[in-house]
Amino acid sequence: MTYVITQNCCKDATCVSACPVNCISPAPGTPEYAESPMLYIDPKVCIDCGACADVCPVDAAVPADSLGRAELVYAELNDRHHRTSSEQGTPEQVEGPLFHPWGAPSFDWTLPSDFRGVDVAVVGTGPAGLYAAELLLLHTGSVVTLIDRLPVAGGLIRYGVAPDHPSTKRIGETLGRLYSHPRVRLLLGVDVGEDVTVEQLSENFDAVVYAVGAATGRQLEVPGEDLPGVHSGPEFVGWYNAHPDVPAGDVQLTSERAIVIGTGNVALDVARILSTDPDELARTDIAEHALEALRRSPVREVLLLGRRGPEEAAYSAPELLALEHLPGVELVVEGSAPGVASTIDEAEPGSHAELLQGASRVAVETSAAPEPGRRIVLRFASAVERILGEDAAEGVCLTDGTVVLGSPVVSAIGYGGRAVIGLPFDEENGTVPNEAGRITGTPGSYAVGWFKRGSSGGIGDNRSDAAETVRSLLDDAVAGRLPKPAGSSRAFVKQVRRDVPDVLGVKELGRILRAEKGRARPEGGAVKLATAEELVRAGRGR
């Protein structure tokens, strides 16, 4: 029986190199890899060895005969990808196995035999920073100092992945083993740009890798956007994930209809969390304050507004399929906008629009209370002109004059980076200017992840991204292009622990994680501490 890759896939791509018959695609480094939401196994080539399942950090590769009823669609997705594989130059339907050619051997880490490594600071403990640290530790004798502004590690894995995706979060355990590595120092609760400067890092380390992510939401730039009850995607995700930057009371669920602007995966995550039975969410690590709010929530309908048509929706197939199989919730398409129905009916196989062919089409009276029942509504060709309300958001007005009543209003239209004091920054793109990870005009400083390339790609995409940056760093080290630091990393760490209040390390992180497991609900799932003060107290054993 063949193996199948399912929704949990994070594109870590460890499985690609582990497969003895090269039946998993697309491979990192190919154009298809950057565009694909997940990886796929060719069922006609798979030999059922289970090597992919052994190495998958998120348990996404499973035997086909173990799939539940709602997961059977992934067997079809895996097969369809290879039967219409553009990688083979055959976009038409193909019969029989597609034997993917092996790539030419590459030796990315060719280093002199006497190269001892470098003393590196990595700013950020999300997947991008940890992948970079892992490569440095694995291929060299480098010493790595991990720095994070929050008093707990994890970044995107802890605070970006939806709580009802626990398998995806398991990659945090895989990468988390680095915290206790003998050549790793961990400094939590240290804000680079505030507590320490970019110059201090450059003066004490051979190189600095910035993996600070993209923590802000892109703006709609419409009137009323600053009203209470309007939230960016990162704010709302941070609220249900217990992010210390988002107070528990920031989100109020008071209306029967919630409005989500955007059709990307974050928008679908928000819609799914708002629509899922709270008893099911109690099995996860969702924030306690969010769970309590959802138990009291009157929300019965979540309306997602897409500015463009269904053919240009930004969601991935796995995330949309998760909505289609949400118990007790109907997924429907508001079909009144011109061209929407015909676009779905005539959609090309495998397109975003084709995924909606099985969804019901309804007419939604958006200026009145929702109809009975629970549902998620996709409404396309619906650009927002302004947010309605005086003291708080009450809905939106679209450019065609349609009024949509509901609250909260969540603007999930993308993430943007935040400037680090002392580094160049591209405000328009929300990234640091760089070339192959080398930060422009700042020798010895490098970038990885969303800070480097913008908010595109998932957790696994950071693996190949980090490889490019680490390659640049090591090339510079071998060629003697790294500036010689005036101080030492050891002295820097001592000074930070002396001067920065409430700085935590690996022992304190262990106490925090044990404290959260000790707060687990009867249904299961650790309950995260939601404020910086709580995290520090737990870390100090208080």
Alpha carbon distances (Å) from 217 to 222, 430, 455:
14, 10, 10
| Mean pLDDT for the stretch of residues 309-325 | 89
| Positions of CATH 3.40.50.720 in the chain | 119-215+417-503
**Would you say 340 and 380 are in contact if contact means Cβ atoms under 8 Å apart?**
yes
Distance of alpha carbon 305 from the chain centroid: 21
Burial 477-493 (b: 16+ CB within 10 A, else e): beeeebeebeeebeebb
Tell me, what's the pLDDT at 90? 46
Please state, as a whole number, how many other Cβ atoms lie within 10 Å of the Cβ of residue 520.
12
pLDDT band at 527 (very low <50, low <70, confident <90, very high): very high
Q: Specify the pLDDT at position 87.
A: 47
32 falls in which pLDDT band (50, 70, 90)? confident
The pLDDT, as a whole number, for residue 94 is 62
Cα dihedral value 148, 521, 319, 97, nearest 10:
100
Task: Select the more confidently predicted residue: 187 or 341.
Answer: 187
* 454: Cα within 13 Å, side-chain hemisphere: 9
State the pLDDT at residue 237: 97
The answer to whether 207 and 482 have CB atoms below 8 angstroms apart is: yes
**Cα 102 from Cα 100, distance rounded (Å):** 6
Q: What is the mean pLDDT of residues 109-124?
A: 92
Q: Across residues 368-384, what is the average pLDDT?
A: 94
Contacts of 397 (CB under 8 A, 6+ apart): 384, 385, 386, 387, 388, 403, 404
DSSP, residue by residue, 180-242:
G-TTEEEEES--BTTTB-HHHHHHH-SEEEE-----EEPP---TTTTSTTEEEHHHHHHHHTT
- Kindly report the CATH class assigned to 119-215+417-503: alpha beta
Q: Is the dihedral of CA 52, 53, 55, 56 positive or negative?
A: positive
Q: What is the pLDDT of residues 168-198, one digit of tens each?
A: 888 998 999 999 999 999 999 999 999 999 9
pTM of the predicted model over 0.85:
yes
- Using DSSP, state whether 423 is helix, strand or coil: coil
pLDDT tens for each residue of 484-515: 999 999 999 999 999 999 999 999 999 999 99
- The band of 140, judged by pLDDT with boundaries at 50, 70 and 90, is very high
Tell me the C-alpha distance between 69 and 325, whole Å.
10
Residue 462 backbone phi and psi in degrees, to 5:
-70, -20
What proportions of the chain, in percent to the nearest 5, are helix, strand and coil?
35, 15, 50
Q: Which residue has the tokens 């949400």?
A: 326
Strands (E), 6-90: 24-25, 40-41, 61-63
CATH 3.50.50.60 domain range(s) in the chain: 220-413
Residue 252 is predicted with a pLDDT of 96
CATH number of 3-88: 3.30.70.20
Q: Taking 90 as the threshold, does the pLDDT of residue 458 lie above it?
A: no
Residue type, 202: S
44-48, 287-291, 435-439 — which is least confidently predicted?
Answer: 44-48
Domain with CATH 3.30.70.20 in the chain: 3-88
Q: Are 233 and 277 in contact (CB under 8 A)?
A: no
Q: Which residue has the higher pLDDT, 17 or 236?
A: 236
Q: At 95, is the pLDDT very low, low, confident or very high (cuts 50, 70, 90)?
A: low
Sorting pLDDT into bands at 50, 70 and 90, what band is 402? very high
Round to whole Å and give the CA distance between 242 and 529. Answer: 7
* pLDDT for 16 beyond 70: yes
What number is the average pLDDT over the span 399-411? 96
- The architecture CATH gives domain 220-413: 3-Layer(bba) Sandwich (3.50)
